Amino acid sequence: MRGRAPGAGRLWLAVAALLTAAPAAGSEILRVGSKRFTESTILGEILTQAARRTTAAEHVPGMGNTAILFEALRSGAIDLYPEYLGTIELEILHHERADAALEQIDRELAPLGLGADIELGFENSYAIGVRHDTAQALHLERISDLAGHPELRIGLSHEFLGRADGWPGLARHYGLTARPSGLDHGLAYEALAAHQIDVIDLYTTDAKIARYGIQVLRDDRHYFPRYDAVVMFRRSVPQRFPQAWAALKALAGSIDTRKMIELNGAAELDHRSARDIAQSFIDRSGLGASRPSFRERLFGEDFARLARQHIALVLLSVAAASAVGIPLGVAAARWPRAGNVILGVVSALQTIPALALLAALIPVLGAIGTRPALLALFIFALLPIVRNTAVGLAQVPETLRQAATALGARSLVRLWTVELPLASPVILAGIRTAAVISVGTATIGAFVGAGGFGERISIGLALNDDQMLLAGALPAAALALGFEASFSVLEWAVRFRLRMSR
């Protein structure tokens, strides 16, 4: 993609922005982000619905971890999101200790154009938990007790494994030598209950602690800081959205620990949607609303937006890959030595894990959202297009090339009028493969805020919600079948036209 003219690059990004943007210009929209776990999703929805009473507001859930939300906030992709004081101090401001007052944290964020305000009323600290039977058998009461049992299998969320206030510091502080494995936080409880692991990290407001009979180990050496829930925001928000900001300020102190556990339980245990839970909370009408049907989830109000984003990601990336991959395939067919290098490089790119590639592209491009997702999809779409173009051209009969040359056709004319048309069915099959692959790969783009049906999948993973997972997976599968059918018809038309022209 770097070989394109700067103007062309800007055009692609402009088209992507238009296709993936939320509703149109005219009235500014307050965009609220949230992380990929139950509590953050619920709080994001509460903030969104509170603001929506006075202002157009949109919730972008399941965006990822702290680093991604922070970059989204700085870049203006979102305007605010729920965060925790300890996380801000240690992960964003890089304090050695997390003991500063909210006012000081807000002042330190100001040079970044950001702020922290609105203490929601509860603290959600990290904790370490084991099954009750394990605790009783091994006499585990404190985190320091784990040092004497390195045989225990520890499964931790990926963010906790990488955080400054997570596993690395905890292991040093308590002298723990075990090697933990990483898994999604939403799946950790089931893995613990199934005896697949013995120790997990918890949030102290998790509703599943009581349900799964988990013993929370006492932080006897006082490692974990306070994690009071607050709102982290762009400094311009109070001026741009004064009425919405006043509505958000009214939420201060409205959610105590008991209430947050109850809200988390409504999602994780009763399987209610975050939107429904937030609406019940905002309306002060309790938590008795019925669970939405699967059809309502599948064809919810976000369906058109997610479909537009998903299709845009696929079409733009495959179009870009075709524009680059076909010339590379031509080069590979014409110059075999160079072709070995081209196919080798493109094949090697295909082996990079999609999530790792997305994570690597964020600092390179200096942004999250559409750009890294498009570039990753472009890279993964290259191989079938380059390979099929080279194979298709290699299959063109030499006698036809010689006949075209005898008729006076120069090399480029022969390529354009004879070789590419004859190879077009094979080339089209490569583009078809790239498109179908891209539909599935595009779901990962939601982890960096690129939208699409992967957004529902990430929410389903965060909430351990099978229906939400299906509501994202089924439309993505339908899109893949739709692209497959469309290209089948197109390939048939190309082959029919070639037969008629002979």
Whether the CB-CB separation of 63 and 142 falls below 8 Å is answered with no
Nearest-angstrom CA–CA distance, 276 and 292:
8
Residue 404's pLDDT is: 62
CB atoms within 10 A of CB 249: 13
Give the residue among 48, 77, 46, 49 at the shortest CA–CA distance from 64. 77
Whether the CB-CB separation of 334 and 398 falls below 8 Å is answered with no
Nearest-angstrom CA–CA distance, 307 and 300:
11
pLDDT tens-digit map of 314-364: 999 999 999 999 999 999 988 988 889 999 999 898 888 876 777 777 677
Nearest-angstrom CA–CA distance, 255 and 261:
10
- The percent helix, strand, coil of the chain (3-state, each to 5) is 65, 10, 30
Do 25-122+227-291 and 303-501 agree at the fold level? no
Q: Residue 456: CB partners within 8 Å, gap ≥ 6?
A: 302, 306, 468, 469, 471, 472
Residues paired with 199 in a beta bridge: 130, 154
pLDDT tens-digit map of 47-96: 999 998 888 889 999 888 898 999 999 999 999 999 999 999 988 999 98
Whether the CB-CB separation of 41 and 61 falls below 8 Å is answered with yes
pLDDT tens-digit map of 491-500: 888 777 767 7
pLDDT tens-digit map of 245-275: 999 999 999 999 889 999 999 998 888 989 8
Dig out the tokens for 378 from the structure. 């472009």
pLDDT tens-digit map of 92-110: 999 988 889 999 999 999 9
Residue 497's pLDDT is: 77
Residue 23's pLDDT is: 37
> What percentage of the chain exceeds 70 in pLDDT?
88
Dig out the tokens for 226 from the structure. 């306070």
More confident residue, 32 or 189: 32
Asked whether the predicted pLDDT for residue 311 surpasses 80, the reply is yes
Residue 52's pLDDT is: 86
Residues paired with 156 in a beta bridge: 182
Question: In the Cβ-directed half-sphere of 349, how many Cα atoms lie within 13 Å?
Answer: 19
Asked whether the predicted pLDDT for residue 131 surpasses 50, the reply is yes
Radius of gyration of the chain, Cα coordinates, nearest whole angstrom: 27
Nearest-angstrom CA–CA distance, 144 and 115:
36
Q: Residue 136: CB partners within 8 Å, gap ≥ 6?
A: none
Amino acid letter, 187 = L
* CATH value of 25-122+227-291 in 3.40.190.10, 3.40.50.300, 3.40.630.10, 3.90.1490.10: 3.40.190.10
Give how far Cα 72 sits from Cα of 76, 165, 167, Å: 6, 22, 25
More confident residue, 396 or 408: 396
Q: What is the sign of the dihedral through the CA atoms of 310, 312, 315 and 318?
A: negative
Give how far Cα 485 sits from Cα of 156, 465, 481, 489, 491, Å: 42, 31, 6, 6, 10
Q: What is the mean pLDDT of residues 11-36?
A: 56
**pLDDT band for position 2 (50/70/90)?**
very low
Say if pTM beats, i.e. exceeds, 0.75: no
Residue 368's pLDDT is: 67
Give the residue among 161, 150, 215, 152 at the shortest CA–CA distance from 184. 161
**pLDDT band for position 407 (50/70/90)?**
low
Give the residue among 125, 261, 113, 146 at the shortest CA–CA distance from 204. 125
Asked whether the predicted pLDDT for residue 24 surpasses 50, the reply is no
Question: The domain 126-217 belongs to what CATH superfamily?
Answer: Osmoprotection protein (prox); domain 2 (3.40.190.120)
Nearest-angstrom CA–CA distance, 167 and 143:
12
Query: What is the Cα 150 distance to its own chain's centre?
Result: 34
Whether the CB-CB separation of 386 and 346 falls below 8 Å is answered with yes
491 burial (CB, 10 Å; 0-12 / 13-18 / 19+) is middle
Give how far Cα 351 sits from Cα of 224, 343, 394, Å: 38, 13, 25
CATH topology of domain 303-501: MetI-like fold (1.10.3720)
Residue 3's pLDDT is: 38
Q: What is the sign of the dihedral through the CA atoms of 434, 457, 36 and 368?
A: positive
Asked whether the predicted pLDDT for residue 441 surpasses 50, the reply is yes
DSSP 76-132: TS-SEEEEEHHHIIIIIS--SS----HHHHHHHHGGGTEEEE---S-B--EEEEEEH
Residues paired with 400 in a beta bridge: none
Q: What is the mean pLDDT of residues 450-469?
A: 78
Asked whether the predicted pLDDT for residue 13 surpasses 50, the reply is no
Nearest-angstrom CA–CA distance, 391 and 329:
8
Tokens 């976000």 — which residue?
Answer: 302
Considering only 25-39, 194-208, 226-240, which range has the smallest mean pLDDT?
A: 25-39
DSSP state letter for 444: G
Asked whether the predicted pLDDT for residue 28 surpasses 90, the reply is no
Find the helix or strand (DSSP H, E) in which 234 lies.
strand 229-234
* Strand 181-182, strand 214-217: pairing: unpaired
Q: For the chain, what are the domain ranges?
A: 25-122+227-291, 126-217, 303-501
